[in-house]
Chain A
Amino acid sequence: DSGVTQTPKHLITATGQRVTLRCSPRSGDLSVYWYQQSLDQGLQFLIQYYNGEERAKGNILERFSAQQFPDLHSELNLSSLELGDSALYFCASSVVQNYGYTFGSGTRLTVV
């Protein structure tokens, strides 16, 4: 157990729908990162939050949004889902960025 908790582990939904993925960072970690990993691909950085504020943005689609709450948990909202959004979505957290990130076990999203 890495200490980063992601729910749900698996999600199957239809095209056009909206889903919310949740992440609780390791205790004490202020930064949360969201990544997307499509099948047999590398990690694509989506967005980073630090202590409730957006810190950096990557290749995040306009249909996707995220936020970090006062208790530091974060949610990634994916709307108007398309088949191509099917992927593994990782959340990671860090206390000091240059120590590296700790990843959760991911949410596998399947859009049918």
Chain B
Amino acid sequence: AQTVTQSQPEMSVQEAETVTLSCTYDTSENNYYLFWYKQPPSRQMILVIRQEAYKQQNATENRFSVNFQKAAKSFSLKISDSQLGDTAMYFCAFMSPDSNYQLIWGAGTKLIIKP
């Protein structure tokens, strides 16, 4: 069964710094999709970034980028020039045909951006 592990329960950085959130996953499949979702204090779940496993190029969305290492089964999220509004829980998630396209979630990392 696929699993997703986020080993950092909580992180904090100063505003404007760069921070990297870790995510590893376990699967025997070759075709799958990876996601980072953000849940700010408002509790809204927001899709931050998406990566297709067969694409070698790392996905980027403005200040958010990923480091996708397929062989290592690692999918970290880098937030550049962090802002106070980036304070949130960040969840890594995995999806594949074998999971019936259901999202398999990590436990989340609480990120605090300090002024």
Contact = CB atoms under 8 A, between A and B. Distances in A.
Nearest to A31: B101
B35 interface: yes
Given A42-B107, A100-B35, A100-B50, A48 B102 contact: yes
A45 B93 CA distance: 13
Interface in A65-99: 88, 90, 92, 97-99
A106 B44 contact: yes
Interface residues of A, number: 21
Contacts of B11: none
Interface of B: 33, 35, 42-47, 50, 52, 91, 95, 100-103, 105-108
Which 4 A-B pairs give the minimum distances between C-beta atoms? A103-B45, A97-B101, A98-B33, A100-B47
